[in-house]
Structure 1
């Protein structure tokens, strides 16, 4: 009987094999994740630019002991997608230096924590993993405020300081980083470029104020506020190189007008000496402009109301800038010729909920440049596209912002310079 059963079983196996239905043996369970083989490469690539000794994060994550001690908090932060901080939505476009984690990577970190956080063998660490690039690659020149300044106005004060430009030949700024002297009170920094024929007007403003610098709400103080931007700093930004082969031209005899927005809502006044660092080139393939973008009527016409009690207030603006490029860039670009956009950024204040910048194509449809689905005032930045976008005459660059002003203590809000006011401001970096 046993012999017959054995023959029957063998016969069935032969028949199944002949029919292509042989059952494969079950795959072995995946090896438990370890720090050196699985987790360290992720931490190094996605977190290392901030969580390193001297980085902008409050603690380092460079060793097994450092990561293991915080494993529970790390799991919670990555599952909530609070860390690594990456604000653009997945539905827009692709960017360089994308710090976001995939669902599979988040699951791997969670599994490692849940299974005890094994260290593993350092020899199993994969080769070729490095900290993800980002930030300013080199600082060829650092310019600081001439003297320290302690803000005196509460809660907000805008102060401009004139910085000498020491270069004696034409140079091109190919990267920028802001260095707030007192991050607890510095809300944002904008570096404006004053060309040689504009310097005297700014020096007159400085001379008329007995204190260091001069008051400069809304811009650097020049009528029309058409002065070019060199770069900016906002909370969460760590500086960046501009796209390869491009740079913003600075002529000898120019000055930098540094606008610093101080806010004393959550901290006491302190002596601040903010600086900026730039990367320089002697020549570039394409001259660039950093272009701010907002509806002029929001700024000058009081036409951006955000009423109290409203949970979703929306404002949108779009415009075809190509026909007016010469006027807009003060002759750097020619009108009616296409531009190439490499990066974009968005700025709101504390009521912001989400925002979007896109190109309304003349041929139909919208080409997304930046979508921030969950606005966080403390994590702002400029995002460089993996593939630059060409804008032609007839295309319109659009910006849209949304705010929640529904808190019980809410008051009507409009465009303004204070932290408790609001803005809907974009910037983009472009060449022709």
Structure 2
């Protein structure tokens, strides 16, 4: 009876544990595959020992011809993207120092170099890999204990109100941008930039919603290709409402400034983040901003800046807003007023005819003001030019009437009348 009660208590405890939803574990694409010998290569024992998942067994190969190297290959069922390789051998002297990846055309995609006899290597995404080759040196034997290749490096696990992410370190990465979407094909939005560790917990989720994640390593300040897609559905008894991210962020450039505006939430404070590259990594330049606008004056004209904004309510920070960019520049006057005493106004009409007038600075200013006003839909449809000293003949005055709709373009050439 006591044993039954103990069993019943354990069963009830297990039933009360929270249920999580996680993306599939990383899969060894070579598991169970048999290698194929190339040329004079022969296997001295079971060829399946290298892909059986047991490091205590091995497949041994050599060439049956003197002074000939051995070679064998694993053929993937379908061309795949490879991101990680794990290999264990008895020595490196019996093989060329690497695992060679070929595509369907047998062209080399990657030559992954080894530095130890038991090594796991994360590589830049090698796409459309069909053949995985092991090349040896002549007159040698090699014991291959294990060879594993993986397409996935990112995994996601759902919990109550959160999703746990973990991934393999990428060579020479200084950080990682974590991106999320609610559909597998995106669009993906950066929810955390420049993560230093190889794990991250997303707490801005809603139970029952499936989220899709990718990470982009940052190497030498630039994003590398994204990881595989990992998904998870947080579940539990609580349903925390995440702080909504600001929306409709815009950035307007000015002279040594960039003006930001966005749509926010009631009671939120905002953090302004900036980067010199699209998609980050971002650095906070202002926090606890209460308005839904901000002017960044710590900028240099001619440099493009990329901005995102986050909202914080009751200590919970939202994911990033959409990204907006601006390139500050010194303000210019699109219609400068003449600065000389006089100017030659050359007007080209729509029929190709050119008219030229020698006018004073004030007359030029009047013409430009009339043209700008009429271009905005205001003012008379024609402008009167008094030819003045150009008057010839017995006339008391000579005038030209320029019709706005007939003007194709005009040019002002200023000079000083000395």
Superposition TM-score tier, normalisation by shorter sequence: under 0.3
- Could you tell me the TM-score, scaled by structure 2's length? 0.23
| Larger strand fraction of residues | 2
Larger Rg computed on CA atoms: 2
- Which protein, 1 or 2, shows the higher relative CO under an 8 Å CA cutoff with sep ≥ 6? 1
- Could you tell me the TM-score, scaled by structure 1's length? 0.22
| Larger helix fraction of residues | 1
